[in-house]
Amino acid sequence: MKKILCLFSVIVALSFATQTWGQKYFTRDGQITFTSETPMEKIEAVNQKATSVLDAASGQVEFAVLIKGFQFEKALMQEHFNENYMESTKFPKATFKGQITDMDLVDLTKDGVYPITVKGDLMIHGVTNPVVADGKLEVKNGAIHARSSFNLSPEEYGIKIPAVVRDNIAQSLKVEVAVNYELLTNGS
């Protein structure tokens, strides 16, 4: 009887640990913005349909975004972006797979703002490069909000900028990520 009671206690403890530490969070409405600013022109595009999953136990994080989902102020810019630069029919999405390296310093059960560092591989235009970015995880009333920004160069990803518009597009683009995660449940 004691063995059965002990086994039951272990099962209950493991079940509780899985519920607490094995939680995953997700979004289908993450926002990714990129900005190119030169003396000639400021270009900004926003995609509000980035998907992301965060594993609270391991700190692993993944993102996927459809390139055609980026919206520009001017329709012609959006057309050139998709057809001439990003070749979004050939390379329809960008992905990031990485790790929050200091997830052990984040307490998802306690409200607060936690500085984090994310390290992983960013794939754009069929080219993958390592990326390290600082950010913040904010826990508020059980909700998790993640923010980060970093710079990238189009050339690093094999994106060719024609000489005729080279002065209009910055050599380094600012990328901003804003995500509101929800707890991933079996029904999600």
- 153-169 pLDDT, tens digit per residue, is 999 999 998 888 888 89
pLDDT exceeds 60 at position 16: no
Specify whether the CB–CB gap between 86 and 159 falls below 8 A: yes
Q: Does pTM top 0.75 for this prediction?
A: yes
pLDDT of residue 17: 38
pLDDT of residue 142: 85
Contacts of 64 (CB under 8 A, 6+ apart): 50, 51, 52, 93, 94, 95
- pLDDT bin (cut points 50, 70, 90) of residue 8 is very low
Task: Please name which of 176, 125, 129, 172 lies closest in space to residue 150, comparing C-alpha atoms.
Answer: 176
Report CA-CA distances (Å) from 57 to 22, 63, 153. Answer: 5, 17, 32
Specify whether the CB–CB gap between 146 and 181 falls below 8 A: yes
DSSP strand pairing (60-66 vs 93-100): antiparallel
* CA 53 from centre of chain: 8
Task: Please name which of 88, 162, 152 lies closest in space to residue 125, comparing C-alpha atoms.
Answer: 88
Q: Quick one: 24-183 is in which CATH superfamily?
A: Lipid/polyisoprenoid-binding, YceI-like (2.40.128.110)
